[in-house]
Amino acid sequence: MNKKITITTQFSVFENFEYLPMDIQNLMEQAIAVRKNAYAPYSKFKVGAALFLDNGKIVLGSNQENAAYPSGLCAERVAVFQAGAVYPDVKILKMAITAASETNKTVAPIPPCGACRQAIAEYEIKQETPIEIYFMGETGSIYKSDSLRNLLPFMFDKNFL
Ligand code: THU
Ligand 1: atom nearest CA of 64 is: 12
Measured in angstroms, how far is the CA atom of residue 47 from the centroid of ligand 1? 6
Of 37, 71, 74, 151, the one to substitute when testing ligand 1's pocket (max ligand atoms within 8 A of C-beta) is 74
SS3 10: coil
Whether the per-residue pLDDT at 58 is higher than 90: the answer is yes
What is 13-160's CATH number, 2.60.410.10, 1.20.140.10, 3.40.140.10, 3.40.50.300? 3.40.140.10
Q: What is the pLDDT of residues 81-140, one digit of tens each?
A: 999 999 999 999 999 999 999 999 999 999 999 999 999 999 999 999 999 999 999 999
What is the residue type of 42? Y
pLDDT, residue 32, reads 98
Strand-pair partners of 4: none
Domain ranges of the chain: 13-160
pLDDT, residue 1, reads 83
CB atoms near residue 90 (< 10 Å) = 17
Cα atoms in the 13 Å half-sphere on the side-chain side of 127: 23
Contact 60, 79 (CB under 8 A): yes
Whether the per-residue pLDDT at 42 is higher than 90: the answer is yes
Give the separation between CA 90 and CA 114, rounded to whole angstroms. 24
> Would residue 76 show up in a list of annotated catalytic residues for this protein?
yes
Q: What is the pTM of this model?
A: 0.96
